[in-house]
Structure 1
């Protein structure tokens, strides 16, 4: 039996917790912590107990979820403590229960990875007002819940640089974009990418496809479909395809390898995270969405008692919250142009669109 503080839940919350058992995989340090922090944070480092609820696909996607875990891992390594993980089932119907269980078991803060937790986290945060929550990719400003922080990103800015890089490196003046789910968040990636490419070459052709429609999150975990869509782009003459498709991005890399073309990764430095040398070779760059930095920073703020709930924190080019990876050296020759675009965005000379 762990010695963690149990937060108070309403009768409804308790009933929710008894609805069923979950597979929660714990990754604990040798030292057992005793208690979590208050709503505003401030837990002693050795008492840090982090709950991490993953997006679709869980840890091992070599992208979004893995980046979040890397941030938690870095914070725990620096501050001490432990982390307990939760992965939702395929349809996400157990998200509320998963978050509630983490809070009930005394983990604090609890971090939800992905916009799909938007409604769930508001419900659970009200049931556990003494627990500090954060959510990646979902605004909390309108929720009216004071113990949740939104960790947002200017994906369109980083994607603009990816589009500029693609246009500068393309030999066919024809590139592509594969999105996981056709929804506003992923359309930010598309909008920025197309704008960046057009800034370099107004006449460039940019093919756009989505793996699944809005509301169907399977598009983030369907590499076979990602491969088919990217292959059709390559066969039509595109020589670089950028994906914002989570675990489906592996299929885009496979299509690039099959056709002798190149691809652009997303979220993590995917040149470093893929475990297949053939796929690594085709990754020209990756649009870095520093979920790891945002999560680590939030946990550090929590440990120091500096979390301000009920607000959104946007990570952009100016804060190095987004950017382009240089691993592999394939964009070394265009760094001067990329840096010029980056500075123009930071200075407000270029306003990047957030919708296609």
Structure 2
């Protein structure tokens, strides 16, 4: 029942819009609540149209809806020390529930959680491996997750599979995958994408036709070097690229627009922002999404409802499929409200989700070994 409630919250949370772009925004309130919410950005910022922005918007909206103070902090640089400093600044300012997005926060958590037991930390996309690795590097043997921390990861391989399957069923045969940095979440997206494309090609008996170029940019932002590689791909026949990793989608979009190609968005439904930014209605065909906003909303509600100790304290949770009947309730999905595909319909998508939920379709989450495929996949060295 709890999963159902969390999932229902996801539907509302995924609809969040309305970004306030100025740094360090502070929602002042007259709330009697002792809760004060802060968010710290990772290497990006709250206008990245991806991970940070989605997290920020969800926490900001929650604060406004519940008359609770909210403020975000942007570290002065991309370093553990800067993230720790932002945490300490937030605590000094009185914020006692802090939301952090991404694996980069694992060292910060290991450094500050034990010494700030009254501050709750909600960590998105931070795995048990990330925490253990950070603890080992900090020479903290036998480190145990403190009760004031909860960590969430997602079954990105499922969303990636859906996207790969969908675009091949739609008719695309020359695919690309552009990952940001080869971290587990990005790898799961990519390997899931390959598995889905391969499955669709097998069903269509087009394994000889479907090909995938696969590369990591080495950064979570687009730049001229990455755009140049994408230009080469599109000019060489690539039709659609799954751009996976923060702002790196800009490089894929620039190259795609110039060559009349297409992209697949990531984490959130990026079709709207890509349309607004590049002036092409159908540049983004679909997006492999995960429920970041829903997780933030549900967990913050749990804090207010006094459910931290029972539901979240010291726990690692992996979120994926919770419904085979209603894809919109799942923590990994494709957006249906902005559906642009014609050959692969919403009903086809629902049938795929049902098969995945029931176990008829199995997707590997192995990040160490590339999937075995019948289609051709060409792996390239990191761009940067």
TM-score by length of 1: 0.83
- Which residue does the alignment assign to 2:26? 28
Distance in 2 of aligned mates of 1:27 and 1:311: 30
Structure 1 residue 110 and structure 2 residue 98: aligned? Answer: yes
1:323 matches 2:310: no
Deviation at 1:332, TM superposition (A): 5.1
**For 1:334-353, what aligned pairs fall within 5 Å after superposition?**
334=344, 335-353=346-364
CA contact (8 A) 1:272 1:327 kept: no
Written as runs of structure 1 = structure 2, the 5 A alignment for 1:200-215 is 200-202=200-202, 203=207, 204-212=210-218
Matched, 1:124 2:112: yes
Kept in 1, the 8 Å contact 2:26–2:72? The answer is no
Alignment of 1:117-196 (within 5 A): 117-140=105-128, 143-171=144-172, 173-196=173-196
What's 1:55 paired with?
A: 42
Give 3-state SS (helix, strand or coil) of 1:121's partner: helix
Q: How far has the Cα of 1:314 moved from its partner? A: 2.0
Report how far residue 333 of structure 1 moved: 4.3
Distance in 2, Cα, partners of 1:259 & 1:327: 27
The residue matched to 1:281 in structure 2 has which SS? Answer: coil
Cα contact 1:267–1:289 (8 A) shared by 2: yes
Residue 74 (structure 1) aligned to one of 50, 61, 74: 61
Residues 112-164 of structure 1 deviation map (CA, whole Å, 9 limit, x = unaligned): 11110011112111110111111111125864211100021111111110001
**1:223, distance to aligned residue in structure 2 (A):** 3.8
1:155/1:289 contact within 8 Å kept? yes
1:279: how far off?
4.6
In structure 1, stretches of 5+ residues that fail to align are: 1-23, 35-43, 213-218
Task: Deviation per CA, 1:84-120: give whole Å up to 9, x if none.
Answer: 1112234324111111221232212111111100111
1:161·1:324 contact (CA, 8 Å) conserved in 2?
yes
- Cα distance in 1 for residues equivalent to 2:28 and 2:347: 47
State the alpha-carbon separation in 1 of the partners of residues 302 and 95 from structure 2.
16
Q: Who is 1:39 aligned against?
A: none
Aligned-partner SS, 1:209? strand
* Whole-angstrom CA distance in 2 between matches of 1:225 and 1:245: 16
Q: Answer yes or no: is the 8 Å Cα contact 2:36–2:95 preserved in 1.
A: yes
Q: Deviations over 1:188-230 (max 9, x none)?
A: 0111100000010042211101111xxxxxx102343442232
Within a 5 Å distance, the mapping from 1:269-348 to structure 2 comes to 269-274=269-274, 275-307=276-308, 308-318=312-322, 320-331=330-341, 333-334=343-344, 335-348=346-359
Q: Is the 2:257–2:278 Cα contact (8 Å) retained in structure 1?
A: no
Aligned length: 315
Counterpart in the other structure of 1:10: none
Once the two structures are overlaid, the 10-residue window that deviates more, 162-171 or 184-193, is: 162-171
Q: Are 1:56 and 1:221, in contact at CA under 8 Å, matched by a contact in 2?
A: no
User: Which runs of 5 or more residues in structure 2 are unaligned?
Assistant: 1-21, 133-143, 323-328, 371-384
Equivalent residue for 2:75, pick from 71, 77, 88? 88
Q: Is the 8 A contact 1:344 1:350 kept in 2?
A: yes
Q: Distance in 2 between matches of 1:305 and 1:196?
A: 41
- Asked if 2 retains the 8 angstrom alpha-carbon contact of 1:326 and 1:332, the reply is no
**For the structure 1 residues 31 and 144, does the alpha-carbon distance in structure 2 shift closer, same or farther, using more than 3 Å as the test?**
closer
Contact 1:164 1:338 in 2 (8 A): no
Distance in 2 between the 1:158 and 1:136 partners?
Answer: 17
Q: 1:296-337: per-residue Cα shift (whole Å, max 9, x none)?
A: 111111111112211022221325111112354312541222
Corresponding residue number in structure 2 for 1:15: none
Deviates more, 1:80-89 or 1:148-157: 80-89
Distance 2:343 2:302 in 1: 38
Contact 1:285 1:327 in 2 (8 A): no
Distance 1:123 1:168 in 2: 47
**Residue aligning to 1:19:** none
Summarize the Cα distance change of 1:103–1:332 in structure 2 as closer, same or farther, 3 Å threshold. Answer: farther
Cα distance, 1:239 vs. partner?
Answer: 0.7
Look up the match of 1:16.
Answer: none
